[in-house]
Amino acid sequence: MNADLEHLITLQAQDLEIRRLRQQLGEGPLQVKVAEEKRAQDEAALQAAEKGLAREEALRRSQELEVKERQGKAARLRKQMETATSAAQISALEHEIGFCEQSIARLEDEELASLERTEGFERARGQATLALEVDTATLAAIRVRVADLTARNAAAIACIEAERSATRALLAGSPGGEAHLSAYDRIAKSKGTGLSEAIDHKCSACQMMVRPQRWNDLTDRDPHSEHAQTIFTCETCGRMLYYDPRRDAPVRWAAGERLSAASNP
Ligand SMILES: [Zn+2]
């Protein structure tokens, strides 16, 4: 395999890992924000429930006062009945007493309705209190996890960037390496990756077939053959193709192992 291609494989692995770590870094603050919003919703729900409870209590206090007032008035009217003389007077008093009793019945119904609303607000307060407790703990845990991940990823990125600079320096120092490096950078910039592994007669990045002659040249393992040092590109997507002969070996590779083995023969 072309030595530049081997360095490019390493470089791509480093670039992809840095990209993955950076993406994870960006997700951390978002996770914190989502957890903060959830907790703020619990707080708002708790506040709304407490406000509702206070409102209903105040309402019932005024209803009770009004009931007492009407009861007092009805008692006074009954007293007046004892001394009433004319039928018209009695009828007017009866009418007023009836009106007082109706008002009292209506106020008592309203009080019952208020008690029912209070039960609802108490349930909501209980749920919101519990949710607030859980989501406060979750937020704290997410903050710790994100801070930890941020520190670890920042350190890992710094480390891989140093290795990446070394890989790029190796490429820049090899004859023809500058051209390969700039081709890699150009394709990676537009396609996301500059290299693609050819697997089973296909470019694994764009899934298009590699022509049989090119496949033969690509997979030719003779180090003295005409194409041993050629870097082929995919005719469809333009990525530089590499072939890993270990694909044919009767060995099972763990994720990432094949690539590191290919780049450090
Ligand atoms: Zn392709």
Instruction: Determine the Cα–Cα distance for residues 102 and 109; give it in Å rounded to an integer.
Output: 11
Question: pLDDT category, 226, cuts 50, 70, 90?
Answer: confident
Give residue 141's pLDDT.
Answer: 98
Residue 262 pLDDT grade (very low, low, confident, very high; cuts 50, 70, 90): low
Q: Please give the domain boundaries of the chain with CATH numbers for all domains.
A: 3-172 (1.10.287.1490), 194-263 (no CATH)
199 CA → ligand 1 middle, Å: 11
Q: How many A from CA of 193 to the centre of ligand 1?
A: 10
CA of 224 to the centre of ligand 1 (A): 27
Q: At what angle do helices 87-173 and 177-191 cross, to 10 degrees?
A: 160
Work out the mean pLDDT of the chain and round it to a whole number. Answer: 92
Residue 246 has pLDDT above 90, yes or no: no
Q: What single-letter amino acid sits at 83?
A: T
Residue 63 makes CB contacts below 8 A (sequence gap 6+) with 107, 110, 111, 114
Residue 195 CA, ligand 1 centroid: distance in Å? 9
Least confident range from 14-18, 60-64, 79-83, 221-225: namely: 221-225
Distance between Cα 52 and ligand 1 center (Å): 64
pLDDT, tens digit, 9 for 90 and up, residues 29-40: 999 999 999 999
How far, in Å, from the CA of 168 to the mean position of ligand 1?
24
Task: Give the residue with greater pLDDT, 252 vs 40.
Answer: 40
Q: How far is the CA of 239 from the centre of ligand 1 (A)?
A: 6
Query: What separation in Å is there between the alpha carbon of 233 and the centre of ligand 1?
Result: 8
**Rounded to the nearest whole angstrom, what is the distance from the C-alpha of residue 10 to the centroid of ligand 1?**
19
Tell me: pLDDT of 260 over 70: no
Render pLDDT for 85-132 as a digit per residue (tens, 0 to 9): 899 999 999 999 999 999 999 999 999 999 999 999 999 999 999 999
* Residue 173 CB burial class (10 angstroms; 0-12, 13-18, ≥19): exposed
DSSP line for 124-143: HHHHHHHHHHHHHHHHHHHH
Per-residue pLDDT tens digits for 154-202: 999 999 999 999 999 999 999 989 999 999 999 999 999 999 999 999 9
CA distance 63 to 68: 9
CA of 197 to the centre of ligand 1 (A): 9
Which pLDDT score is estimated for 54? 98
Q: For the chain, percent helix, then strand, then coil, each to nearest 5?
A: 75, 5, 20
Instruction: For residue 197, give the H/E element and its range.
Output: strand 195-199
Q: What is the pLDDT of residue 118?
A: 98
Write out the two tokens for 112.
Answer: 């019952």
Question: What distance in angstroms lies between residue 206's CA and the mean position of ligand 1's atoms?
Answer: 4
Res. 258 pLDDT band, cuts 50 70 90? low
Contacts of 229 (CB under 8 A, 6+ apart): 2
pLDDT given at position 227: 79
- What is the model's pLDDT at position 247? 76
Positive or negative: CA dihedral 117, 119, 123, 128: positive
Rounded CA separation 240/210 (Å): 12
